[in-house]
Amino acid sequence: MSFLQTPDGARLRYTERGDGPQTVVLVHGWKGSHRMWDPAMHRLADEFRVISFDNRGMGESDRPTGRYDFDLLADDLDFVLTELGVEDATLVGWSMGCSISLQYLSRGGARAARLVLINGPIRLENDDEWAWGLPAGQLDIFVEELVAAWPGSELEFARGANLDPDGAYADLYYRVALQTELIDSIRIVREQQRLDHRPVLRGLQLPVLAIYGRQDPYYDEGLARYIAEQVPDGRYLMFEQSAHPVHYDEPDRFREVIAEFAQGRL
């Protein structure tokens, strides 16, 4: 196993595959790990240097011992990129990984040259001026149900995110989620509730691609279009046969699209 130790002593589990001239960095979502990216790692490593790591508190990385927020996760991302000597990366954030990637860019983000956002929020909850998140108050209900029915609630969450609720990837989704302690799951989603990355989008000075699954249960084409319209150099694609994990549902198309975007052909 490969680990990097942060300045505050936390060990972050990471994996690196391929030795291509360009680097793709994959940032997983809530309660995920680098293993969720296995289909993409396998396909991209023939052409690119591909890096993924477990966010603090998730997967095989150490649990947080103090504050736990998106500045910390963004700083961890910056630390990984710096330690591994990454420059001009194509940064790919999926689900909560979108929030981590955008927070990283809001804090300088000098090691990213391109950004891909996959099925993730810009603002988690709706208000009078925002309609592409959760209805107001729904997160509170979801958190209460998650705690009350855990670990069965984790299984239902995994089943709901996938096209095949009884399939092997849904089972992997569930097993990986159990690596994150329940208290940390709740802490970090509460921190995500505080975020509003709309101003960040408008200030991005790098190419941005939004990829959203037509059958994703959380976000629709309207959010993908919004991202593309708000970013000075933005575009979006819908994956028609995908739910939440587009890199699993349409793996070959995902590889093709990421390769084209990373190489400036999209």
Residue 28: predicted pLDDT: 98
Share of the chain above pLDDT 90, in %: 99
What is the greatest pairwise CA distance in the chain?
A: 48
Q: Is residue 264 over pLDDT 70?
A: yes
pLDDT the model gives residue 229: 98
pLDDT of residue 1: 66
**How many Cβ atoms are within 10 Å of 148's Cβ, its own excluded?**
9
Q: What is the pLDDT of residues 183-218, one digit of tens each?
A: 999 999 999 999 999 999 999 999 999 999 999 999
User: Taking all residues of the chain, what is their mean pLDDT, rounded to a whole number?
Assistant: 97
Domain boundaries, the chain: 2-262
The pLDDT of residue 249 is above 70 = yes
Q: Are 51 and 85 in contact (CB under 8 A)?
A: no
75-132: pLDDT as tens digits: 999 999 999 999 999 999 999 999 999 999 999 999 999 999 999 999 999 999 999 9
How far is residue 215 from each of residues 18, 99, 238, 243, measured CA to CA in Å?
31, 21, 10, 4
CA separation for the pair 48, 63 (Å, rounded): 30
User: Cβ of 203: how many Cβ atoms within 10 Å?
Assistant: 11
pLDDT at position 117 is 98
Residue in 87, 89, 142, 83 with CA at minimum distance from that of residue 114: 89
Q: Is the pLDDT of residue 13 over 90?
A: yes
Note the pLDDT tens digit of each residue in 64-90. Answer: 999 999 999 999 999 999 999 999 999
Nearest to 90 by CA among 254, 229, 209, 3: 209
Q: What angle do CA 161, 165, 170 make, to 5 degrees?
A: 70
- Find, among 129, 104, 124, 130, the residue nearest to 206 by Cα: 104
Say how far apart CA 47 and CA 52 lie, in whole Å. 16
Contact 99, 76 (CB under 8 A): no
Instruction: Give the CATH fold of the 2-262 domain.
Output: Rossmann fold (3.40.50)
